Chain A
Amino acid sequence: MRYLPLTPSDRQEMLATIGVPHIDALFADVPEHARLPGPIEGLPLHATELAVERHMTALARQNTVAGEVPFFLGCGAYRHHVPASVDHLIQRGEFLTAYTPYQPEIAQGTLQMLFEFQTQVARLFGTDVANASMYDGSTACWEAITMARRVTRRGKAVLSAGLHPHYVSVAKTMARFTGDQLQTALPTLTGEPDTDTLIAQVDDDTSCVVVQYPDILGRIGDLSALADACHAKKALLIAVVTEPVALGALRAPGEMGADIVVGEGQSLGVGLQFGGPYVGLFGCSDKLVRQMPGRLCGETVDADGKRGFVLTLSTREQHIRREKATSNICTNSGLCALAFSIHMTLLGEAGLRRLAGLNHAGACHAADRLATVPGVELITSRFFNEFTLKLSKEARPVVRQLADRGILAGVSLGRLYPGEAELANGLVVAVTETTTPEDVAVLADGLTEVLS
């Protein structure tokens, strides 16, 4: 077995040193009835690297690859071009095969990277600080809601109708067990986000308002008035960003008064990966930092006075506080945070702005072109790189028919909101720098045929 270095004679020698005749003696504590006599049934026996590669490659071939077809899916996961150096660097063994940096003297690489990542995220979000990552956007969103409960000592969270329905589902699942009260609503096929409705919902029992920016339908709105309404009632505003590239073009939520900004960092460096692993981003204001979940990296000095970095404020965390911790999170998403950070470093501010500009311009072009297709109405008035179309037919079968023609046309709202007739004709279309004008033309032609 290529991964096991011990030879049969090593094993004999070591058993002799230990002073037992046979390996079974080391499993003596296992009760008789639970000892398996031989290899577990149902699994194959060991295989060569070549054989395994053949098997897995055959499975991979059964999937339609996003990069090989006209592709327009978004809704929380976006296809961007990731520079080759990102994947090369994250595969350096010193990053890939390191553990959580518990021994900072020999983990400065990971720690300095995390410090840089935290700063990049905080600046992008317009928050004072950011943590060293969460699992993904959806879990970061729930953690933000529980953090707002701890800060405000109130149990009612108001969730925007424009919040990603999976994020809403995660919050609902958790709230059912924690007893948090959630006010939720379904989106409507209108051009503007539900800011005014949210403002009207804030009251003295509200811990937080959770608003996505841009929202699930791609809509954007100013958060300042909502932030003021929250603060007037001593509630927190939580902004959720599922497409961080948008913040290269749009005002930062922190700048508009959001107290906590969370997000999905997958867009930069990570790739689609059928939904995971991704990287949760989590930023907040300085005064809330001791209620934050997750790992934090901080600057300090070593015994020689040299600058160095350590994990800090761990008195918030489970390994110290146990049942009184701010969260149970332990392993987070370090390697994806590295990928995000490298991609962001390659882009820099000028690159990020240019990338965002290209995304927006492509989306504007696509929206205008698709709106000319008979039976297609553009719903979203202000958007970044994703917009919603209302089709003359139910969108879900349309998406399936277009998939049969080799076009991945977008996300039907029927997939996200099954059984909601009002939304069934909605199609959310995302356009990035990877989308070509030819792709848009193919989609327009396909829609024309399918809708006629």
Chain B
Amino acid sequence: MSVNQSGWRPERPSAADAGAATATGNRALMLEEPLIFEIGSTRTTGVDFADGDVRHDRLGDLTRKTPIGLPGLSEPETVRHYTRLSRQNYAIDLGLFPLGSCTMKHNPRLNERIARLPGFADVHPLQPVDTVQGALGVINQLAFWLIDLTGMHGVAMSPKAGAHGELCGVLCIKAALEARGDTERRVMLVPESAHGTNPATAAFAGFTVEDIPATAAGRVDLAALKARLGPDVAGVMITNPNTCGLFEPELKEISDAVHAAGGYVYCDGANFNAIVGRVRPGDLGIDAMHINLHKTFSTPHGGGGPGSGPVVLSEALSPYGPLPYTARTADGHIHLIEEERAQEFSDEHFGGKHDSFGRMTAFHGQMGMFTRALTYILSHGADGLRQVAEDAVLNANYVLRRLEDVLDAPFAASGPCMHEAIFSDAGFPDGFSTLDVAKGLIDEGFHPMTIYFPLVVHGAMLVEPTETESKATLDQFIDALRSVATRAKAGDPSLKAAPHFAPRRRLDETLAARKPVLVWKDKAPLADAAE
């Protein structure tokens, strides 16, 4: 039975209605939300406390006397504030998020449930080792499987994110060079197409960064690289598959040449999703590679972290990895090797060869990400992970081939891509840019692809669909991008003003940088807390 029995039918709205302002500034489900500083009060709290004495008798003269200025909200207000904010975000849960080199795949909810089991979530990092065997077991199991998946010799689990993992790998290289008394190698070679963290990391570790040129086919120029190698080169940092979405077919030759010249090969593993289960980086001669658990192994990006960046290491670099590490001995017991036992354990089990460069972070690394990543690996298994790489590569090639007639694909002629497809802004009329295409896609309900990266492609658009997208979603995205690209090429002026339908129009980033407003400044002082 129909709910509407009156016979009323909606009328077609007039154009004027659509543009009408509302009294609140809200547009139905699109709700404006003030800052907590505008709606909260320092006297309000959303937490009830047990009655009890709150003496401050051991603080001496350090008792806080001035107001802090922290507004509080009741629980319903808090839930509404953050729920309203959340609705102004695009997310993988809403749709395709094709940011190239970011691997925005579905985040399985089982992973979230597992990470929240009290046995993992409510355990202190300094508990006696006997009380945390399950937690150490997770770290150890994940460590062994990352070694299996990459064909490497060892793994450092504690780095906190990809860039921290890069730092770990580069420090292993430096430690290995120092250990053999080779202190003149100060140059790290990095391709121009590398992610910005590569040169920043090398510089942070005290290396001088030099560019490696690329060929017209978007690969490392092996001949030019060989010519640059010498006694001052510590190593190279290569991304494979590279940031143009292409496999480096000569990586083994590169590794051999670098090793022959006395250097080491760091591989940026940000794009491991393309080859997981099909290729083991260890077979390509690399010495160190970080793995972004928040990319390939599906731990959520959370609006900018937390990440996790374990680093797999070759036999040559394994002895230098950071503390702490976990290791299982023949009796099945899992050991946590911290500073105090490092030498003793190394003597007993590694023939004295372990010579860690030290600690990179407090405690043990991103445990919450380890539980999620291990859950992900268990769910997929070796067969499922191989299928992950295949579907990721299939989806990217499908996007590449279905769009190359409307968008310039600079490397399409040289063969298939890996997990991401790259396009350029060639053919756009004056005044129209990659940015306009990105903003147009927002109106179509998609998060834009990575834009203007890598730098080696003019107006780059790097599309990484990942394996967790259906063909129907890809088709819809392709149609949307095709439409927007066609409008850009036709010089459609409405595209310059896009997005029209997002919570905000284009934002003035120049103003933000010229007059930085980084914290809220009260128009009037907040009322003092009652204490």
Same complex for A and B? Answer yes
Q: Check if A300 sits within 8 Å of B508, measured CB to CB.
A: yes
Q: Tell which of A35, A327, A331 touches B200, judged by Cβ atoms closer than 8 Å.
A: A327
Q: Check if B148 sits within 8 Å of A313, measured CB to CB.
A: no
The contact string, 1 if C-beta is below 8 Å from chain B, for chain A 81-109, is 00101011111111111111111111111
- B67 interface contact, C-beta 8 A: yes
Q: Check if B200 sits within 8 Å of A43, measured CB to CB.
A: no
Q: Check if B468 sits within 8 Å of A3, measured CB to CB.
A: yes
A340 contacts which chain B residues (CB < 8 A)? none
Q: Determine the residue in chain B with the shortest Cβ distance to A175.
A: B358
Bound together, the chains give a CA A118 to CA B374 distance in angstroms of 33
Which stretch in A131-139, A152-160, A197-205 binds the other chain? A131-139
Q: Check if B86 sits within 8 Å of A53, measured CB to CB.
A: no
Q: Check if A39 sits within 8 Å of B69, measured CB to CB.
A: no
Among A110, A170, A419, chain B packs the most CB atoms within 10 A around the CB of A110
Among B47, B102, B174, B438, chain A packs the most CB atoms within 10 A around the CB of B47
B476 contacts which chain A residues (CB < 8 A)? none
Q: Check if A63 sits within 8 Å of B124, measured CB to CB.
A: no
**Restricting to A300-355, which residues have a CB under 8 Å from any CB of B?**
300-304, 306, 308-310, 312-315, 317-325, 327-336, 338, 342, 344-355
Given A98-B302, A105-B499: A315 in contact with B513 (beta carbons within 8 A): yes
Given A42-B145, A331-B161, A382-B58: A106 in contact with B442 (beta carbons within 8 A): yes
Q: Determine the residue in chain B with the shortest Cβ distance to A7.
A: B471
B78 contacts which chain A residues (CB < 8 A)? 85, 89, 342, 345-346
Q: Check if B162 sits within 8 Å of A330, measured CB to CB.
A: yes
Among B128, B161, B300, B518, chain A packs the most CB atoms within 10 A around the CB of B518
**Nearest chain B CB to A25's CB is how many angstroms away?**
7
Q: Check if A346 sits within 8 Å of B75, measured CB to CB.
A: yes
Given A41-B382, A52-B378, A348-B41: A274 in contact with B364 (beta carbons within 8 A): yes
A347 contacts which chain B residues (CB < 8 A)? 45-47, 70, 72
Q: Check if A43 sits within 8 Å of B145, measured CB to CB.
A: yes
Q: Check if A276 sits within 8 Å of B304, measured CB to CB.
A: no
- A296 interface contact, C-beta 8 A: yes
**Restricting to B495-531, which residues have a CB under 8 Å from any CB of A?**
497, 499, 502-509, 511-513, 516-520, 526, 529-531
- A358 interface contact, C-beta 8 A: yes
The contact string, 1 if C-beta is below 8 Å from chain A, for chain B 99-136, is 10010101110101111111111111111101111110
Given A42-B148, A276-B160: A96 in contact with B302 (beta carbons within 8 A): yes
Q: Check if A65 sits within 8 Å of B519, measured CB to CB.
A: no
* Supplied contacts A139-B160, A323-B209, 5 more A-B pairs, CB within 8 Å: A44-B382, A96-B93, A139-B360, A298-B513, A400-B130
Q: Determine the residue in chain A with the shortest Cβ distance to B113.
A: A53
Which stretch in B32-40, B256-264, B345-353, B484-492 binds the other chain? B32-40
Using a Cβ–Cβ cut-off of 8 Å, how many residues does chain B contribute to the interface with A?
Answer: 213
Q: Determine the residue in chain B with the shortest Cβ distance to A364.
A: B58
Given A49-B110, A65-B118, A95-B89: A419 in contact with B340 (beta carbons within 8 A): yes
Bound together, the chains give a CA A54 to CA B497 distance in angstroms of 53
Bound together, the chains give a CA A57 to CA B138 distance in angstroms of 11
Q: Determine the residue in chain B with the shortest Cβ distance to A129.
A: B518
- B296 interface contact, C-beta 8 A: no
B382 contacts which chain A residues (CB < 8 A)? 39-45
A26 contacts which chain B residues (CB < 8 A)? 390, 393-394, 397, 416, 418
- B424 interface contact, C-beta 8 A: no
A75 contacts which chain B residues (CB < 8 A)? 126
B380 contacts which chain A residues (CB < 8 A)? 1, 3, 46
Q: Check if A310 sits within 8 Å of B512, measured CB to CB.
A: yes
Q: Check if B306 sits within 8 Å of A83, measured CB to CB.
A: no
B204 contacts which chain A residues (CB < 8 A)? 178, 327-328
Q: Check if A136 sits within 8 Å of B68, measured CB to CB.
A: no
- A245 interface contact, C-beta 8 A: no
A399 contacts which chain B residues (CB < 8 A)? 128
A321 contacts which chain B residues (CB < 8 A)? 196, 200
Top-5 shortest CB links A-B: A348-B72, A60-B119, A357-B54, A335-B302, A275-B363
B368 contacts which chain A residues (CB < 8 A)? 273-274, 276-277
Q: Check if A338 sits within 8 Å of B206, measured CB to CB.
A: no
Bound together, the chains give a CA A13 to CA B118 distance in angstroms of 46
- B53 interface contact, C-beta 8 A: yes
Bound together, the chains give a CA A116 to CA B69 distance in angstroms of 12
Which stretch in B1-9, B10-18, B222-230, B245-253 binds the other chain? B245-253
Q: Determine the residue in chain B with the shortest Cβ distance to A336.
A: B306
Bound together, the chains give a CA A123 to CA B200 distance in angstroms of 31
Bound together, the chains give a CA A19 to CA B416 distance in angstroms of 10
Q: Check if A345 sits within 8 Å of B46, measured CB to CB.
A: yes
Bound together, the chains give a CA A99 to CA B204 distance in angstroms of 25
Q: Check if A274 sits within 8 Å of B124, measured CB to CB.
A: yes
**Restricting to B350-377, which residues have a CB under 8 Å from any CB of A?**
357-369, 371, 374-375, 377
**Nearest chain B CB to A420's CB is how many angstroms away?**
10
**Nearest chain B CB to A157's CB is how many angstroms away?**
16
**Nearest chain A CB to B427's CB is how many angstroms away?**
23
Q: Determine the residue in chain B with the shortest Cβ distance to A62.
A: B134
The contact string, 1 if C-beta is below 8 Å from chain A, for chain B 147-159, is 0110000000000
Among A27, A75, A331, chain B packs the most CB atoms within 10 A around the CB of A331
Which stretch in A231-239, A249-257, A438-446 binds the other chain? A249-257
Bound together, the chains give a CA A285 to CA B297 distance in angstroms of 39
Bound together, the chains give a CA A415 to CA B162 distance in angstroms of 29
Q: Check if A350 sits within 8 Å of B33, measured CB to CB.
A: no
Bound together, the chains give a CA A99 to CA B193 distance in angstroms of 22
The contact string, 1 if C-beta is below 8 Å from chain A, for chain B 447-484, is 11000010000000000000111110100000000000
Bound together, the chains give a CA A327 to CA B160 distance in angstroms of 14
**Nearest chain A CB to B29's CB is how many angstroms away?**
13
Bound together, the chains give a CA A169 to CA B358 distance in angstroms of 7
Q: Tell which of A77, A79, A348, A383 touches B40, judged by Cβ atoms closer than 8 Å.
A: A348
**Nearest chain A CB to B69's CB is how many angstroms away?**
5
Given A108-B504, A289-B518, A346-B45: A94 in contact with B93 (beta carbons within 8 A): yes
- B214 interface contact, C-beta 8 A: no
Q: Check if A275 sits within 8 Å of B49, measured CB to CB.
A: no
27 A-B pairs (CB sep. < 8 Å): A14-B394, A36-B386, A46-B380, A92-B83, A92-B86, A95-B82, A95-B302, A96-B107, A97-B104, A103-B90, A105-B442, A137-B362, A249-B64, A275-B362, A299-B512, A318-B196, A321-B200, A328-B203, A336-B306, A342-B78, A345-B72, A345-B78, A345-B81, A346-B73, A350-B43, A358-B54, A418-B340
**Restricting to A1-21, which residues have a CB under 8 Å from any CB of B?**
1-6, 10-11, 13-15, 17-20
B134 contacts which chain A residues (CB < 8 A)? 58-63
Q: Check if B68 sits within 8 Å of A349, measured CB to CB.
A: yes
Bound together, the chains give a CA A315 to CA B337 distance in angstroms of 40
Q: Check if B64 sits within 8 Å of A251, measured CB to CB.
A: yes
- B332 interface contact, C-beta 8 A: no
Q: Determine the residue in chain A with the shortest Cβ distance to B208.
A: A323
Bound together, the chains give a CA A313 to CA B252 distance in angstroms of 40
**Nearest chain A CB to B145's CB is how many angstroms away?**
6
Q: Check if B365 sits within 8 Å of A272, measured CB to CB.
A: no
Q: Check if B519 sits within 8 Å of A130, measured CB to CB.
A: yes
- B60 interface contact, C-beta 8 A: yes
Bound together, the chains give a CA A18 to CA B505 distance in angstroms of 37
Given A87-B116, A106-B447: A73 in contact with B124 (beta carbons within 8 A): yes
Q: Check if A5 sits within 8 Å of B503, measured CB to CB.
A: no
Q: Check if A4 sits within 8 Å of B383, measured CB to CB.
A: no
**Restricting to A360-418, which residues have a CB under 8 Å from any CB of B?**
360-364, 367, 381-384, 399-400, 403, 408, 411, 415-416, 418
**Nearest chain A CB to B517's CB is how many angstroms away?**
4
- B184 interface contact, C-beta 8 A: no
Q: Check if A46 sits within 8 Å of B381, measured CB to CB.
A: yes
Q: Determine the residue in chain A with the shortest Cβ distance to B248.
A: A29
Bound together, the chains give a CA A400 to CA B471 distance in angstroms of 56
Q: Determine the residue in chain B with the shortest Cβ distance to A354.
A: B49
Q: Check if A133 sits within 8 Å of B70, measured CB to CB.
A: no
B339 contacts which chain A residues (CB < 8 A)? 169, 418
- B379 interface contact, C-beta 8 A: yes
**Nearest chain A CB to B450's CB is how many angstroms away?**
8
